[in-house]
Amino acid sequence: MHRADHRPSRRTFLDVTGALVAAGLTAGCTPDPARPGPHAPSAAATPVPVAATGRHQAGVTLPQPAQRNLLAVVADLGAAVAPGPLLAELGQAIRTLVAGADPRLLGLPPGDLTVTVGVGPRLVRTAGAPLPGAVDLPRFSRERIAPRARGGDLLIQICASDALLPPVVAAALLDQAGDRIRERWRQSAHRGANVPVGNGLSAPRNPLGFIDGIVGPHTTAEQRRDLWLAGPPAVAGGTLAVLRRMELDLPRFAALSVAEQEAVFGRHRASGVPLSGGTVASGPELGAKTPDGRYLVPVDAHVRRANPAVVGVGLMLRRSYSTDGPAPGLLFIGFQNDLRTFTATLTHMDASDALLRFTTTTASATFLILPGFDRQHPLGSTLFG
């Protein structure tokens, strides 16, 4: 999961990416639907290109349907490096890569490639301490995080239907940045096919076998309210991302009966329907009880402890990816326009969420996902121009 501190030379870039292509290494990312739409295409379908430019960066709510492969790279900028020119250069490289015009793609068609760039709290504070994204994540329980796996100045999230693309694109962008950045850690991950959940929406299963991402800002109005930043002008059109990499105690979870697993989540494993009844898309009735007075959704169930109405926060666009490594793992990414949406939720979960007993967090960071860009407005120019 971790990578050497030095930046690879161009020769190393060619050697590494060529080896990756030859070996057919996989990554993985399937964003949750942002609004009702068709189900994911079959593997034989040709991926539809996604514009790299616009009001919002691609890779948060677009494309729709979503890719299945992700690579997240977290890095630091050198102390004397000006963020503005570097980000503008990366934005130009992203446009060229997405267009398929960069020879560093090694002949791979870009398909539905998206690259999403965020900056960490240290860089945001240099632009303005009161700005959204200027605050570091607090520490929580059940963490075992090495210093280099906490925080960071730069996030590069790469998603594509073709699993060969993310590591090749990452190598191209690191080559572009040169010695101006120093990689901290990276994580590849993958998700399975989406499962229909009603109302034209679909969501994938998480590594524990449960349908994930059912609740979120799916409509345009919900996204305007809870996902996208409306201001100040320097960050308008961006959002805030939280990354948490975790190890999962899959053997202990698998040893539970299906009923016990369902009590951990508060939903039926096969269908995703809340234990209180209804449909998979309907919210759980947290007050519903059995005739003998027990809550149908247990008091420590994940859907209760993480419920935005119970916590008193907005909706979060949540994504969970299965990771490869010595131990089974999960990469969680949450997008929201208020960091409290995440911090208050995890604080509420920390008290008694049954799901957390099966997780240990090994990396943690938050980033301001920069507003969208185009030829006239380079990436990062509203913040560092």
Cβ(354)–Cβ(298) below 8 Å? yes
CA distance linking residue 247 with residue 249, whole number of Å:
7
Running DSSP on this structure, what letter comes out for residue 88? H
Average pLDDT over residues 150-174: 98
Average pLDDT over residues 63-92: 94
* Tokens representing residue 69 in the block: 């492969």
Running DSSP on this structure, what letter comes out for residue 210? S
φ, ψ dihedrals at 161, nearest 5°: -70, -35
CA distance linking residue 209 with residue 60, whole number of Å:
24
Spatial neighbors of 198 by CB under 8 A, at least 6 apart, are 279, 280, 281
pLDDT mean across residues, the chain: 89
pLDDT digits (tens, 9 = 90+) for 101-115: 999 999 999 999 999
- Domain spans in the chain, listed from the N-terminal domain onward: 10-37+49-384
- The percent of residues in the chain predicted with pLDDT above 70, rounded, is 88
Question: For residue 274, how far is the Cα from the chain centroid?
Answer: 25
pLDDT at 14 over 60: no
Can you give the pTM of this predicted structure? 0.88
Return the pLDDT at 64: 76
CA distance linking residue 104 with residue 118, whole number of Å:
22
CA distance linking residue 372 with residue 380, whole number of Å:
8
Q: Which segments of 211-295 does DSSP mark as H helices, in order?
A: 220-226, 250-254, 258-265
Spatial neighbors of 75 by CB under 8 A, at least 6 apart, are 152, 153, 154, 156, 174, 177, 181, 182, 183, 184
pLDDT digits (tens, 9 = 90+) for 226-241: 999 999 999 999 999 9
